[in-house]
C-alpha cells in the first residue's frame, strides 16, 4: 500500500478553504446541502451568497486539469422545483470551470410515495473541470455482442447514416460505462441524514485521479469520500462544520487508516 496523507479540519468550509494553497487539489468529490432540506443539527447556514463563495474558492484551490464532482438535487417548494442545481452549475462555468459532463446518479432503492408527480429517482453529478481533465480512467462494463462485428456507423450532420470506419470492426469485450450510474442510497441515517454510497465516490475517484493525488471534500459529513480516497491510495483533505459529524467521519477514517498500510494523519 502507498503512503497517504490525511488532513481533517473542523470548521466552516468557506473560511477554511481560504487558508488552503492555490491549485492544491486534484479532485473534489462532494455533495453540498440541498436548498436547506436538512438543518444538520442546526449548524447549517446556506444561501446563494455562501454557495457562490464556496464555488469561487473551489476554482482557486483546484489544480489546472483538476475536477470537481458536485452531487446535488433540488427541493420542491410550493409545488415547484427550485432549479438551484442548474444555477450552481452555471455559476461554476461563470467562475471559469468547464461543464465537462452532466451525469446522473440513478437511485436503485424503492422510492416513497409522492402526490401528483413522478417519484424523484435521481440526483445530478455535475463534473466540472479546470480546463481539460488531466486524468481519465474510465469505468468499463462488459459489452454486448463482444467478439462480434460492428459496422461502426453513425449519422452525420445532414442526417445521413455513414460507416465511420469503412470496414466492420470487432466488438471489444468491454465498453465505457454511460453517464447514468445506478447506486442504492447510502443509508445509515442514524450516522448522518445524507450518506451517499461509497461506490459512487470510488468510481469518481478512480475516473478523475491517480494514486498519490489529493482528493478533497469540503462537506465531509460522515467521511465517505475520505474512506474511499484512502482505500484507493489517494491523499485526502476533508472539512466538516458540525462537531458531531466531524467525530463520526474522523472515527470512520481512522478505522480505514488502521488497516495495514503506512500512513500519516494530520489533524487541524
pLDDT at position 170: 73
Q: In which element (H, E) is residue 252 found? A: helix 243-257
Give the pLDDT mean for 25-40.
80
In the predicted structure, residue 162 carries a pLDDT above the cut 80? no
Euclidean distance between CA atoms 155 and 174, whole angstroms: 23
Shared domain check, 227 and 97: yes
What is the percentage of the chain residues whose pLDDT exceeds 90?
65
Q: How confident is the model at residue 16 (pLDDT cuts 50, 70, 90)?
A: very high
Does the pLDDT value for residue 244 go beyond 60? yes
* pLDDT tier for residue 268 given thresholds of 50, 70 and 90: very low
Is a pLDDT exceeding 50 seen at residue 88? yes
Residues 6-29 have a mean pLDDT of: 97
Residue 130: its pLDDT value, please?
98
Say if residue 57 is in the same domain as residue 96: yes
Residue 183 near residue 204 (C-beta atoms within 8 A): no
State yes or no: pLDDT of 263 exceeds 50. no
Considering the domain architecture, whether residues 53 and 167 belong to the same structural domain is answered as no
Which CATH number fits the domain that encloses residue 120?
3.40.50.150
Kindly tell me if the per-residue pLDDT of 227 is higher than 60. Answer: yes
Tell me, yes or no, whether 131 and 48 share the same domain: yes
Q: What is the mean pLDDT of residues 31-60?
A: 80
- Give dist(CA 13, CA 50) in Å, integer: 10
Same structural domain, 151 and 93: no
How many structural domains are present in the chain?
A: 2
Same-domain check for residues 54 and 91: yes
Give the domain extent around 19.
4-139+177-267
* pLDDT at residue 190, rounded to an integer: 47
Is the pLDDT at 136 greater than 80? The verdict is yes
User: Of 160, 176, 192, which one is at a domain's C-terminal end?
Assistant: 176
Do 33 and 160 lie in a common domain? no
Of the given ranges (74-78, 167-171, 208-212, 233-237), which has the lowest mean pLDDT? Answer: 167-171
pLDDT at 110 over 80: no
* pLDDT (mean) for 74-94: 93
Mean pLDDT computed over every residue of the chain: 86
Do 46 and 154 have their domain in common? no
- Percent of the chain past pLDDT 70, that is, above it, reads 82
Same domain, 191 and 234: yes
- Domain end marker among 126, 160, 176: 176
Q: pLDDT band for position 67 (50/70/90)?
A: very high
Question: Are the CB atoms for 23 and 64 separated by under 8 Å?
Answer: yes
Model pLDDT for residues 180-222, shown as the tens digit of each residue: 999 998 654 445 555 789 999 999 999 999 999 999 999 999 9
Final residue of a structural domain among 131, 157, 176: 176
The helix or strand, by DSSP H or E, that contains position 229, with its residue range, turns out to be: helix 224-231
The burial of 58, by beta-carbon neighbours within 10 Å (0-12 exposed, 13-18 middle, 19 or more buried), is given as buried
Same domain? 190 vs 77: yes
The reply to whether 232 and 185 lie within a common domain is yes
Do 105 and 131 sit in the same domain of this protein?
yes
Contact indicator for 261, 238 with CB cutoff of 8 Å: no
Amino acid at each position: 500500500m502507498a503512503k497517504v496523507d490525511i488532513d481533517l479540519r473542523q470548521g466552516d468550509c468557506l473560511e477554511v478553504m481560504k487558508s488552503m494553497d492555490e491549485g492544491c487539489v486534484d479532485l473534489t468529490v462532494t455533495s453540498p446541502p440541498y436548498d436547506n432540506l436538512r438543518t444538520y443539527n442546526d449548524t447549517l447556514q446556506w444561501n446563494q451568497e455562501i454557495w457562490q463563495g464556496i464555488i469561487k474558492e473551489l476554482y482557486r484551490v483546484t489544480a489546472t486539469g483538476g475536477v470537481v464532482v458536485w452531487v446535488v438535487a433540488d427541493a420542491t417548494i410550493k409545488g415547484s422545483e427550485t432549479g438551484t442545481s442548474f444555477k450552481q452549475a452555471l455559476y461554476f462555468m461563470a467562475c471559469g470551470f468547464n461543464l465537462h459532463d452532466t451525469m446522473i446518479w440513478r437511485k436503485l432503492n424503492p422510492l416513497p410515495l409522492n402526490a401528483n408527480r413522478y417519484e424523484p429517482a435521481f440526483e445530478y453529478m455535475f463534473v466540472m473541470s479546470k480546463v481539460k481533465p488531466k486524468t481519465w480512467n474510465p469505468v468499463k462494463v462488459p459489452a454486448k455482442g463482444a467478439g462480434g462485428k460492428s459496422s461502426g456507423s453513425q449519422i452525420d450532420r445532414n442526417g445521413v447514416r455513414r460507416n465511420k470506419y469503412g470496414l466492420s470492426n470487432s466488438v471489444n469485450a468491454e465498453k465505457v460505462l454511460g453517464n447514468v450510474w445506478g447506486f442504492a442510497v447510502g443509508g445509515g441515517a442514524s450516522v448522518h441524514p445524507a450518506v451517499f454510497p461509497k461506490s459512487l465516490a470510488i468510481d469518481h475517484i478512480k475516473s478523475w485521479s491517480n494514486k498519490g493525488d489529493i482528493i478533497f471534500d469540503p462537506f465531509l459529513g460522515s467521511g465517505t469520500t475520505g474512506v474511499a480516497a484512502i482505500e484507493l491510495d489517494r491523499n485526502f483533505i476533508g472539512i466538516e462544520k458540525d462537531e458531531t459529524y466531524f467525530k463520526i467521519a474522523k472515527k470512520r477514517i481512522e478505522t480505514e487508516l488502521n488497516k495495514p498500510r503506512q500512513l500519516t494523519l494530520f489533524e487541524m
